[in-house]
Amino acid sequence: MVDLARAAAPARRTPRSSHDHAVIEVLQSIRALSDAMERMHSGMKGDMDMNATDVAALRMLIVREQRGVSVSPHDLARHLRISSASTTKLLDRLTESGHVERRPHPKDRRARVVALTDASRALFFQHFGERLRTMREVASGYQEDELRVIARFLDELSGAVDPE
């Protein structure tokens, strides 16, 4: 006879192998990293007197700028998963506070792109630069082949957590 209480309960999988144990350790480390990143971003919000969406917008602009990719208001809305109206309010707020500028698109003058101001970029790195340097030092301790595996793992994990 089937024990219904046991069958209905969520499966508690105990590690059966060293591989299972290693997977659990990785997931615990990811949770710890996620918590640390959340604390860091919360601290940045307070230090920069911004809300979470504002800081996320600046982070996106920094990353795209470093890749040489321009950002449209639509790109920002899609990345942040906010409406066009919310994007307009966000950009109005960030423009008024001197963090971003709306500029004509370099190839399509009818379109606009969003760009960080020099002051905003400097402020961002003032608050985040030391952490970036420390993170780079940690990554520098790994060999190229290890870094490729780590990058692939993190990219795949990001895709699994937040498929777009």
Antiparallel, parallel or unpaired: β 100-104 and 112-116: antiparallel
Domain with residues 48-141, CATH architecture: Orthogonal Bundle (1.10)
Write down the domain spans for the chain: 48-141
For residue 11, what is the DSSP state?
Answer: P
For residue 106, what is the DSSP state?
Answer: S
Instruction: Identify the three-state secondary structure at position 142.
Output: coil
Would you give per-residue pLDDT tens digits along the chain (164 residues)? 444 444 444 555 555 899 999 999 999 999 999 898 888 877 776 666 788 889 889 989 999 999 999 999 999 999 999 999 999 999 999 999 999 999 988 888 788 999 999 998 888 888 788 888 999 999 999 999 999 999 999 999 989 988 76
- Nearest Cα neighbor of 95 from 79, 115, 76 is 115
